[in-house]
């Protein structure tokens, strides 16, 4: 099992485009043994300390294996929608790890 934390920074005014991509990509993860554990959209009041821009959303997801994650990333139907992610996401900080 692998775990991924994503801090997602969305371009201003492109939130609806990002959510359109997510509405397709999140259910597709299940096909590849992936799931959302937490999907957070923190407010400014949620931060105790922040050095820089704060993310639009924070995702903590899991996949059964690296192979499942790779297959999800290469899925042809996902690739049909990836232009929405490109259009809407400024940057992503991805942290990959294991449960200990």
Question: Residues 3-27: pLDDT tens digits?
Answer: 999 999 999 999 999 999 999 999 9
Distance CA 19, CA 4 (A): 19
Average pLDDT over residues 33-38: 96
CB 34 within 8 A of CB 16: no
Domain 2-97 has CATH 3.90.1200.10: no
Give, for 74, the enclosing helix (H) or strand (E): helix 66-74
CB 42 within 8 A of CB 58: yes
Q: Could you tell me the pLDDT band of residue 50, with boundaries at 50, 70 and 90?
A: confident
**Looking at residue 26, what DSSP letter applies?**
H
Statement: the pTM of the whole predicted model exceeds 0.75:
yes
Distance CA 61, CA 42 (A): 17
Inter-helix orientation angle 66-74/76-88, to 10° = 80
């Amino acid at each position: 099992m692998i775990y991924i934390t994503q801090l997602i920074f969305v371009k201003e005014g492109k939130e609806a485009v990002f959510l359109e991509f997510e509405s397709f990509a999140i259910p597709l993860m299940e096909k590849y043994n992936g799931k959302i554990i937490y999907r957070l959209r923190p407010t400014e009041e949620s931060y105790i300390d922040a050095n820089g821009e704060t993310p639009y959303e924070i995702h903590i997801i899991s996949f059964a294996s690296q192979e499942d994650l790779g297959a999800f990333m290469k899925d042809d139907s996902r690739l049909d929608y990836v232009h929405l992610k490109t259009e809407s996401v400024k940057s992503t900080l991805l942290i990959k790890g294991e449960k200990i």
